Structure 1
Amino acid sequence: MTARSSLTVVLAAGEGTRMRSSLPKVLHPVAGQSLLAHVLDAAPHGAGASLAVVIGPDHKAVADEVKRVRADAATFVQAERLGTAHAVLAAREAIARGADDLLVAFGDTPLISAETFARLRAPLEKGAALAVLGFRAADPTGYGRLLLEGDHLMAIREHADASAEERKVTLCNAGVMAFEGRRALEILDRIGNANSKGEYYLVDAVAIVREMGLEAVVIETSEDEVRGINNKAQLAEAEAVMQARLRQAALDAGVTLIAPETVHLAADTKFGSDVTIEPFVVIGPGVTIADGAVIHSFSHIVQTSIGKKASIGPYARLRPGTSLGDGVRIGNFVETKAATIEAGAKVNHLSYVGDAHVGANSNLGAGTITCNYDGFFKHKTTIGEGAFVGTNSSLVAPVKIGKGAYIGSGSVITKDVPDDAMAVERSPQNNRDGGAARYREMKMRAKAAKEG
């Protein structure tokens, strides 16, 4: 049996003025990913699945995000904002191609899941013309009510228009809908604008389906899953829900989270087995942590690959482009950026390693700095396998430290060091007998003169 084809239309044209931000609403992040990206990831993928995103005029950043997340998606511009049904019909060209199922979703509902989209489509295969996603609201004030007779959806009544009895209904409209594709345009085109605002509302589709003698049904989900984001407070609430989900998924996968509520994860974080995360760790987008790695407290990690049995932190900062081999040790107050550190290497404390390649089993002493920026360009430092860099050394890139080389503590290295060579760069030490006493005496006299 051939799988049903689908078109998902995601409405993402809102300005989001209540966010008090110049960033379009759907580009605000939750768990390191834009609101829109979460919805696009959840929408149906694969053969027979197509995607259309309706954006506002001059929203190039939104269009770019669509292409970044789903290269298969088409974008359509809603030039005028005349209601949700009007927004859907901005994608008329895509709808007219006649997918079996038409899904309508919103770009500001990041908690919706692929499973919910699948459940919403299921009644269409059984003959329903429309399936509406609903939820049981703890406080239904302001929400449209879903009015049922048995299992049949009869109407969506907006709160302002609901009777006292209808307002007692807690089953509310989430806004997300699925249409039987062959009838979708016919239903949408019948929606009128005979209301106080002169706009075309998607909720009117229920009454039209009933007038056509067709079936409309409700699929229920949790209130959390359909949280819309209209302001920064709601954004924070969605973040909290997402973080709880991600922590639970990590725990279920066998990750040890010593204090889960203190750990911040990204939606795309990947864990191996037997990983341990200590309290107060922040993991941003693009992080992979392999088997047996330990992330110690107060570390911040973004766009980094961490090898097996690596030890990170406490108080480590791993910036984008970091790749750590198996058994690497990154200690307290170490920062890395665009750095490959091979297996068994150690950078244990108070160091910066940027734009660098560090060979296996090398050791970088406390205070080692790769001086990668000359004020105009970035330059690379290469440290060979088994090299030892002494405490408080500055490696001025571009520079190469050979295999097995030894750098004396306190050196400023500006020239390449051959394999197995020792490089020491220091000014000769000059001890002046009695110099400290003379210096103190001079300063005391100056201080007395100033105070007198």
Structure 2
Amino acid sequence: MNDKPSAAPIAAIVLAAGKGTRMKSDLHKVLHPLAGRPMLLHLLDNVAALAPARTVVVVGAGRAQVEAAVAPLGAEVVHQTEQLGTAHAVRQAETALGGFAGDVLVLYGDVPLIGTATMREMLDRLHAADRPAAVVLGFRPLDPAAYGRIVAGPDGRIVKMVEYKDATPEERAVNLCNSGLMAVRGEDLFALLARVGNDNAAGEFYLPDIVMLAAADGRASAVIETGEAEVAGVNSRAELATVERAWQDRRRAEAMADGATLIAPETVWFAYDTKVGRDVTIEPNVVFGPGVTIADGAIIHAFSHLEGASVGAGCSVGPYARLRPGAVMEAKSRVGNFVEMKKAVLGERAKANHLTYLGDAEIGAGANIGAGTITCNYDGFFKYKTKIGAGAFIGSNSALVAPVTIGDGAIVGAGSVVTREVSADALALVRPAQEEKPGWAARFREKMIARKKG
């Protein structure tokens, strides 16, 4: 039935005007994060892959938050002052799209998982040989609940669409449901919307009514189907958690299909932009914030948290390590348990195996950072840098007070507080000389025991 895919220009109207009262939040519903990114931006990213000529976001309550989020993406924003139904919401984009000659996708900001491929399928169906007036995205949920119903023939041509509140018992028994997402030609959309009335149980202007209006004109519409997960909407914190879980499950499967080993996949949490190479091993209870890249052959041990970090090939992280933004581990370097890095570069084969803080630091190749070492990078007002040369050895429990440089091959004795430059290959000892008083401990104990008995 399908012709060649249409080359018509594309516009997207994204509805994001709802108040989201069930979220019980000061943050606009569509800006709640999914995998570390506002769910509206997930949707707009998928739309952008279609190279649309225009993208219009319809806002209402909390408009300033949404406008600030979408402005950097170049989307246009229009305001719906009253929430009178989905048809009314889409009409708010009419002025912005005045004279647009192309295909229009109608999407929802709280339905973030709809993929680019499905959007493309809707547009292609719009240009099939039978030229439907509109294409509706349908799905068959396990529990149809209060979704609007679609009665369609075997070829997907829509016989009737009806909102649940207005449906008969027989129509409610149909399990093909309306997601609300549509594709319509621009020259048809607003002409049909102008004819939508609100003579229904809710007194609202429903977008799906354009399908029946077109049918009354002798023009059929069509439905294509997708899975329930792709059109899952978010109206509450519980639904957000459900969508997050679905997103994570899919991303975990992708990581393993691409050659990574996840020991306990259900305990690993990815961000929207996490990049994982081949032969990477990720142990249980690892969390990735945004901006993390893991190169081939690295291992991320259990209970580690990474954000804004780059982990090189063959590196080892954790367990219980924290890599903060600006952390860079070069090939085959190691950080162990309870090591924290922030805006620091750990050179090739360098290691900090335990109980260490490396902030605003540059550590050369092959250097060894002993347990308990910290770079003292902040004086309460400004940050300063520590440089540690290649092959240097920093003894345990050392404090390196920045700005300071440790030369190549230098050794800093354990327990040192270093405030000045240490030359290459030098030994730095910054601690008082050891003093011993023979018998003092025994005499002290005898004195204390006697005092306690008295």
Specify the TM-score bucket, using the shorter chain as the normaliser: over 0.9
Q: For residues 286 and 329 of structure 2, what CA distance do their matches in structure 1 show?
A: 18
The correspondence of residues 310-321 of structure 1 with structure 2, limited to 5 A, is: 310-321=315-326
Change (3 A) 1:184 1:448: farther
Correspondence 1:343 to 2:312:
no
Q: Which amino acid aligns with 1:393?
A: S
Cα offset, 1:167, TM superposition: 1.3
Retained in 2: the 8 A contact 1:7–1:99?
Answer: no
Amino acid at match of 2:374: I
Residue 89 (structure 1) aligned to one of 77, 88, 91: 91
Runs of 4+ in structure 1 over 6 Å off: none
Q: What code does the residue aligned with 2:13 have? A: V
Q: State the match for 1:143 in structure 2.
A: 147
Asked if structure 2 preserves the Cα contact closer than 8 Å seen for 1:356 and 1:382, the reply is yes
Q: CA contact under 8 A between 2:28 and 2:62: conserved in structure 1?
A: no
User: What does 1:124-143 correspond to in 2, within 5 Å?
Assistant: 124-126=126-128, 127-143=131-147
Matching of residues 103-142 of structure 1 within 5 Å:
103-126=105-128, 127-142=131-146
Q: Show the counterpart of 1:60.
A: 64
Pick the aligned partner of 1:390 from 388, 395, 403: 395
Instruction: Give the SS at the match of 1:357.
Output: strand
Alignment of 1:23-422 (within 5 A): 23-45=27-49, 47-68=51-72, 71-126=73-128, 127-150=131-154, 151-195=156-200, 197-422=202-427
Moved more, 155-164 or 111-120: 155-164
Distance in 2 (CA, whole Å) between partners of 1:119 and 1:445 is: 90
AA aligned to 1:341 is L
| CA shift digits 1:64-99 (9 cap, x unpaired) | 22234xx23222222222221222222223322414
Q: Secondary structure at the match of 1:248?
A: helix
SS at match of 1:91: coil
Q: What residue in structure 2 maps to residue 4 of structure 1?
A: 8
Q: Is residue 17 from structure 1 mapped to residue 21 from structure 2 by the alignment?
A: yes
Q: Match of 1:75, SS?
A: strand
Q: Distance in 2 between matches of 1:365 and 1:183?
A: 70
* Superposed CA offset, 1:260-316 (max 9, x none): 122111221112221111222111211111111111111111111111111111111
DSSP 3-state at the match of 1:43: helix
Q: CA deviation at 1:119?
A: 1.0
Structure 2 length normalisation: TM-score? 0.94
Q: Alignment partner of 1:350: what SS? A: strand
Once the two structures are TM-superposed, the CA of residue 177 in structure 1 deviates from its matched residue by: 0.8
Q: List per-residue Cα deviations over 1:382-410 (Å, max 9, x = no partner).
A: 21222211111111112222222221111
Which sections of structure 1, spanning at least 5 residues, go unmatched? none
Number of residue equivalences: 447
Distance 1:431 1:99, change over 3 A: farther
1:339 Cα offset (Å): 1.2
Q: Which moved more, 1:266-275 or 1:49-58?
A: 49-58
Q: Which moved more, 1:414-423 or 1:35-44?
A: 414-423
**1:154–1:206 CA contact under 8 A, matched in 2:** no
User: Alpha-carbon deviation of 1:438?
Assistant: 3.7
**Aligned-residue offset at 1:433:** 2.7
CA distance in structure 2 between the partners assigned to 1:290 and 1:318 by the alignment: 15
Sequence identity percentage: 51
What secondary structure is seen at the aligned counterpart in 1 of 2:223?
strand
RMSD after superposition? 1.9
Unaligned segments of structure 2, at least 5 residues: none
Q: For residue 70 of structure 2, what is the amino acid of its counterpart?
A: V
Amino acid at match of 2:417: V
Partners in 2 of 1:358 and 1:103 — Cα distance? 52
